[in-house]
C-alpha cells in the first residue's frame, strides 16, 4: 500500500535526521571513558562557568593559569598554563606570572587559516576583563572586584577592551603582571577557576553568546557534540606535552596505591581519546545505567548506599561490588544549612529590643528542635558529617572541640525556651520555608516541619513556598520573601575564607549572605582577617567568628555530605568532585587490555 510506503519513507527520513552521522573523529579502537553527572551544564563559556557542571567541562575545554594537584590532599596549587608559582612583591600586592610558550588554541575557522593560534598573555587579560563588561553576561566579577587595581575604573569608563587596566598588564607576550588594591591571599585560587580560563578574543567576537555551545580553548579536550542529556569530548591532539609525574601530583602510596596509578608515570596526558559525559538527574536512572555497564563512574545515589556498602563508619564496599568496582568516600567541600532571614522581623532582627530577644530565643529553640541525627540518617545514610557552624571537616580550621550542643537535639530545652519567652502555639509567627521544586526538597521540608511540630510548632504555621526554577527561588529569598532559607554551599576554592564571607554584613542579599546577618563584631573580625593567609592566627579568628554565629542562632548548620564514588576497575583514576572536579579527567586512563570499546 502506498500509505505504508510513505510512512516508511517518512520514518527513514526522520531517522536519518535524528541520528545525524556520528562524528568523523570517532575511532572504533579508541579509549573511551564514560562519566555521569547528576546535572547538565547550562553554558560552556568560561565567563559563565558558575555551576559545578559547567566548571567540570570548562576546565577540560580551556586552560587556566593554575590548577590543583591531582592527588595531593589537602589541595595544593600547581602551575598549569603558568610556568611556575607567581613571583610576589614584598608588600604582597604585585604578582608576576610567566606563562608557557607554544601553547595553541584548538583549530577553528575563527583563526587565520583555521589553525589555532598561540595563546598569549593578552588573552588571559582579555578573559578577566570580560567579567567586567556589562553585556558579556559574565558571572565571575565578584572574585576580583575592588581587588585588582583599575579594573572597576575600567568598567566605569565604559569597558573598552583596548584600554589598559593598570593592575592587569601583559609585560610581554608571556608575562602577566597583576597589581592588587589590597592583600588578597586567595588570588591564586581564583586563577584556577573556570571563570579565569583563557578565551581567544576573536572567538568571543565571532560567536558571541553562542560561544557557550561552541568552545574554542586550549584545554586537554575539545567538544564534539552536546545536547541536554550528554556531551562528547575528544582528546585535543595538540595539547601541550607534559609527562605525568606522580611525585609532582602529590602521590601517596599508602592511601592511593591500589588504583594502579604507578603505570601512568611519564605518560603524556590526556590518556583517553574520548570522554562521554552523561547528564542524568534522576538518581535511579543513573544507578541503573551504571550497573548495566553503560557508564564507568558514578557518584552513588543515597538510595543505593544500603546496597553498595557493607559497613557505614568507615564506609566499606560490599563484597559483591568489591570485585568489579573501585571505591572512594570523600567528604564534600561544602555544607548544607538552613538560614533564618534575619531581615525578617517575624524571626530576625527587630527594632523592639524585647521582641528582638524573643526572636533570638525562638531561633535558638528551633535549632535545638532540629534533629541532625535523623536528617543524616534519612537523607545521608548516616555517613554525612554533622558539625557546628560553618567550618566543615574539610577545612583545616575545623574545630573538633567546637560546641557540639549546637547540633544536638534537645526538645526539652527547646520547649522550655519557648515557654520562658512567652511563645505559644497561637502567637508563634507563620514562616515560609522556600525550596525549588523537587521531590527531595519537598521531603526535606516535610521532615523539617516534623521536627518543629515535635517542639509544638503548629504544622500550618510552617508553610512551603515552592518555586519552579532555582533562579526564582534565589530571587525570592534575595528579596526577603522567604523566612527559612534552605541552601547548600559548595566552596569555590579550598580556603575557609569562602565560607566566612557567607555571613559578612555587606554581602547581605542579593549577595551570598542570604541570612542578612549583620553583626559588627563579626564584620570587624572578617575585615581584619582578609589580609591573612591560612595560619594559627587566622584560625583563631575564624573559630571566634563561628562561635558568634552560633551564639546569635542565625542558621541551622550544618552537614557536609559524604560522597561515595564508584568506578569500573578497568578505569585507572582518582575521581574528584570538589572545587573544580573536572581537572582529574586528563589523568584518567583505561587498562590496555580493555581499551577497545564496542
Partner 1 sequence: MESVWQRLRSDGYGMLGFYIIAVFALAALLVWSGLLGQSWAVVSGGRWESISSTHWFGTNLLGQDILQRTLFSSATAFEVGLSVTILSTLLGTVLGALAGWFRSSWLDELILWVKGVLDSIPFYLFAAAIAFALQGNRWAMHLAMVITFWTTTARIIRGEVIRLKQREFVEAARAIGLPPRTIIFRHVLPNTSHIVLVQATIVFVAAIKTEVILSFLGLGIQNGVSWGLMLAESSQEVLAGHFGNFAAASIALFLLLVGFNLLADSLQDAMDKRRSVS
Partner 2 sequence: MVVISCALLIWKIVYKPMNKLPYFVRRLLFGTALVLGVTFISFLLMVHFGPDKTYELIGKNPTEQQIAEVRHALGYDRSFLLRYGSYLRELVTLDFGLSDSSGEKVSSMLARSLPISLLLVVPGFVLGNGLGLILGMLAVWYRGRWLDRLVTGASVAGMSVSFLIIIIGLQVLLCTPHGLNLFPVRGWQVDGLASYLFYVTVPTLALVLVTLGYNTRYYRAIIADESEREHIHALKAYGATPYELMLKHVLKNSLVPILTRLMFSVPLVLISGSLLLESYFGIPGIGQVTFDAITSGDQPVLKAVIGLTGVLFALALTVNDFLYKVVDPRVARS
Per CB under 8 A, residues contacting partner 1 are 282-285, 287-288, 303-304, 307, 377-378, 437-440, 442-443, 446-447, 449-450, 453, 459, 463-468, 472
- Contacts for 486 with CB less than 8 Å, ≥ 6 apart: 336, 337, 338, 339, 433, 434, 435, 441, 444, 445, 448
In the complex, least distance from residue 451 CB atom to partner 1, rounded to whole angstroms:
9
> 442 contacts which partner out of partner 2, partner 1, none, CB within 5 to 8 A by kind?
partner 1
The Cα 226–Cα 67 span in angstroms is 25
> 112 contacts which partner out of partner 1, partner 2, none, CB within 5 to 8 A by kind?
none
Site size toward partner 2 (CB under 8 A) is: 61
**Cell numbers for 463:** 508553610
Q: Of the candidates 353, 111, 373, which has an alpha carbon nearest to the alpha carbon of residue 218?
A: 111
Binder to partner 2 among 25, 118, 294, 454 (CB under 8 A)?
A: 294
Residue 277 binds partner 2, judged by CB under 8 A: no
CB 46 within 8 A of CB 195: yes
The residue among 308 and 367 lying less far from partner 2, judged by its C-beta, is: 308
Residue 318 binds partner 2, judged by CB under 8 A: no
Alpha helices in 132-226 (DSSP H): 151-156, 187-190, 201-207
> 283 contacts which partner out of partner 1, partner 2, none, CB within 5 to 8 A by kind?
partner 1
- Contacts for 293 with CB less than 8 Å, ≥ 6 apart: 568
Q: Of the candidates 522, 457, 521, which has an alpha carbon nearest to the alpha carbon of residue 483?
A: 457
Binder to partner 2 among 203, 211, 223, 560 (CB under 8 A)?
A: 211
3-state percent helix, strand, coil for the chain, nearest multiple of 5: 35, 20, 45
The Cα 128–Cα 118 span in angstroms is 18
Phi first, then psi: what are they for 40, rounded to 5°? -110, 145
Binder to partner 2 among 80, 193, 212, 518 (CB under 8 A)?
A: 212
Q: What is the enclosing helix (H) or strand (E) of 464?
A: strand 462-467
In the complex, least distance from residue 426 CB atom to partner 1, rounded to whole angstroms:
19
Residue 324 binds partner 2, judged by CB under 8 A: no
Binder to partner 2 among 265, 288, 551, 596 (CB under 8 A)?
A: 288
CB 491 within 8 A of CB 579: yes
Residue 157 binds partner 2, judged by CB under 8 A: no
β-strands 77-79, 66-68: how paired? antiparallel
Buried b (16+ CB within 10 A) or exposed e, 51-90: bbbbbbbbbbbbbbbbbbebbebebebbbbbbeeebebee
> 262 contacts which partner out of partner 2, partner 1, none, CB within 5 to 8 A by kind?
none
CA 302 to chain centre: 19
Residue 439 binds partner 2, judged by CB under 8 A: no
The residue among 329 and 453 lying less far from partner 1, judged by its C-beta, is: 453
Residue 407 binds partner 2, judged by CB under 8 A: no
Residue 92 binds partner 2, judged by CB under 8 A: no
> 173 contacts which partner out of partner 2, partner 1, none, CB within 5 to 8 A by kind?
none
> 512 contacts which partner out of partner 2, partner 1, none, CB within 5 to 8 A by kind?
partner 2
CB 154 within 8 A of CB 163: yes
The Cα 53–Cα 582 span in angstroms is 9
Helices H, strands E: what count in the chain? Answer: 18, 23
Stretch that binds partner 2, among 110-118, 120-128, 393-401, 471-479 (CB under 8 A): 471-479
Residue 210 binds partner 2, judged by CB under 8 A: yes
> 453 contacts which partner out of partner 1, partner 2, none, CB within 5 to 8 A by kind?
partner 1
The residue among 239 and 433 lying less far from partner 1, judged by its C-beta, is: 433
The residue among 304 and 519 lying less far from partner 1, judged by its C-beta, is: 304
**Residue ranges that bind partner 2, judged by CB under 8 A:** 7, 10-11, 14-15, 17-19, 22, 40, 42-43, 45, 48, 50, 131, 134-135, 137-143, 145, 208-213, 227-230, 278, 280, 282, 284-285, 288-289, 291-292, 294, 437, 468-472, 474-475, 478, 492, 501, 507, 510-512
Amino acid at each position: 500500500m502506498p500509505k505504508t510506503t510513505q510512512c516508511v519513507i517518512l520514518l527513514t527520513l526522520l531517522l536519518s535526521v535524528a541520528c545525524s552521522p556520528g562524528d568523523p573523529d570517532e575511532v572504533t579502537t579508541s579509549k573511551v571513558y564514560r562519566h555521569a553527572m547528576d546535572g547538565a551544564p547550562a553554558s560552556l563559556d568560561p565567563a559563565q562557568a558558575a555551576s559545578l557542571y559547567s566548571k567540570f567541562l570548562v576546565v577540560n575545554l580551556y586552560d587556566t593559569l593554575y590548577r590543583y594537584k591531582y592527588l595531593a590532599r589537602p589541595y595544593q596549587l600547581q602551575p598549569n598554563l603558568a610556568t611556575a608559582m607567581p613571583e610576589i612583591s614584598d608588600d604582597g600586592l604585585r604578582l608576576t606570572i610567566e606563562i608557557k610558550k607554544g601553547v595553541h588554541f584548538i583549530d577553528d575557522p575563527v583563526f587565520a587559516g583555521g589553525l589555532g593560534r598561540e595563546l598569549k598573555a593578552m588573552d588571559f587579560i582579555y578573559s578577566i576583563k570580560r567579567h567586567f563588561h556589562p553585556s558579556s553576561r559574565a558571572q565571575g566579577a565578584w572574585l576580583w572586584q575592588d581587588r585588582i587595581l583599575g579594573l572597576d575604573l575600567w568598567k566605569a569608563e565604559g569597558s573598552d577592551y583596548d584600554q589598559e587596566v593598570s593592575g592587569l598588564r601583559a609585560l610581554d607576550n608571556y608575562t602577566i603582571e597583576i597589581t592588587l588594591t589590597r592583600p588578597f591571599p586567595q588570588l591564586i585560587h581564583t586563577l584556577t577557576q573556570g571563570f579565569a580560563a583563557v578565551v581567544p578574543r576573536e572567538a568571543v567576537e565571532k560567536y558571541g553568546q553562542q560561544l557557550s555551545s561552541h568552545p574554542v580553548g586550549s584545554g586537554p579536550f575539545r567538544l564534539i557534540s552536546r545536547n541536554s542529556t550528554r556531551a562528547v569530548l575528544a582528546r585535543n591532539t595538540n595539547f601541550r606535552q607534559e609527562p605525568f609525574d606522580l611525585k609532582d601530583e602529590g602521590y601517596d602510596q599508602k592511601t592511593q596505591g591500589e588504583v594502579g596509578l604507578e603505570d601512568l608515570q611519564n605518560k603524556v596526558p590526556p590518556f583517553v581519546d574520548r570522554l562521554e559525559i552523561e547528564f542524568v538527574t534522576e538518581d535511579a536512572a543513573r544507578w541503573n545505567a551504571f550497573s548495566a555497564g553503560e557508564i564507568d563512574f558514578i557518584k552513588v545515589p543515597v538510595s543505593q548506599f544500603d546496597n553498595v556498602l557493607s559497613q557505614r563508619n568507615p564506609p566499606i564496599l560490599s563484597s559483591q561490588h568489591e570485585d568489579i568496582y573501585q571505591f572512594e568516600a570523600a567528604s564534600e567541600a561544602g555544607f548544607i544549612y538552613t538560614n533564618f532571614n534575619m531581615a525578617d522581623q517575624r524571626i530576625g532582627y527587630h527594632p523592639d529590643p524585647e521582641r528582638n530577644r524573643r526572636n533570638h530565643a525562638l531561633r535558638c529553640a528551633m535549632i535545638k528542635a532540629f534533629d541532625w541525627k535523623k536528617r543524616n540518617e534519612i537523607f545521608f545514610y548516616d555517613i554525612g558529617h554533622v558539625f557546628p557552624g560553618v567550618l566543615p571537616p574539610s577545612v583545616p580550621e575545623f574545630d573538633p572541640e567546637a560546641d557540639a550542643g549546637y547540633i544536638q537535639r534537645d526538645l526539652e530545652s527547646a520547649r522550655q525556651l519557648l515557654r520562658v519567652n512567652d511563645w505559644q502555639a497561637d502567637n508563634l509567627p507563620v514562616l515560609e520555608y522556600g525550596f525549588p521544586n523537587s521531590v527531595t526538597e519537598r521531603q526535606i521540608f516535610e521532615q523539617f516541619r516534623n521536627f518543629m511540630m515535635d517542639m509544638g510548632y503548629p504544622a500550618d504555621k510552617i508553610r512551603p513556598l515552592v518555586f519552579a526554577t532555582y533562579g526564582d527561588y534565589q530571587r525570592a529569598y534575595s528579596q526577603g520573601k522567604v523566612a527559612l532559607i534552605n541552601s547548600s554551599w559548595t566552596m569555590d576554592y579550598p580556603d575557609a575564607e569562602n565560607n566566612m564571607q557567607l555571613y559578612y554584613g555587606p554581602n547581605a542579599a542579593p549577595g551570598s549572605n542570604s541570612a542578612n546577618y549583620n553583626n559588627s563584631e563579626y564584620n570587624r573580625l572578617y575585615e581584619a582577617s582578609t589580609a591573612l593567609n591560612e595560619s594559627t592566627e587566622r584560625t583563631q579568628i575564624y573559630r571566634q567568628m563561628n562561635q558568634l554565629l552560633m551564639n546569635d542562632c542565625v542558621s541551622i548548620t550544618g552537614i557536609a555530605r559524604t560522597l561515595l564514588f564508584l568506578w569500573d576497575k578497568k578505569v585507572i583514576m582518582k575521581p574528584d568532585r570538589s572545587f573544580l572536579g573536572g581537572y582529574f579527567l586528563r589523568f584518567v586512563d583505561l587498562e590496555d587490555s580493555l581499551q577497545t570499546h564496542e
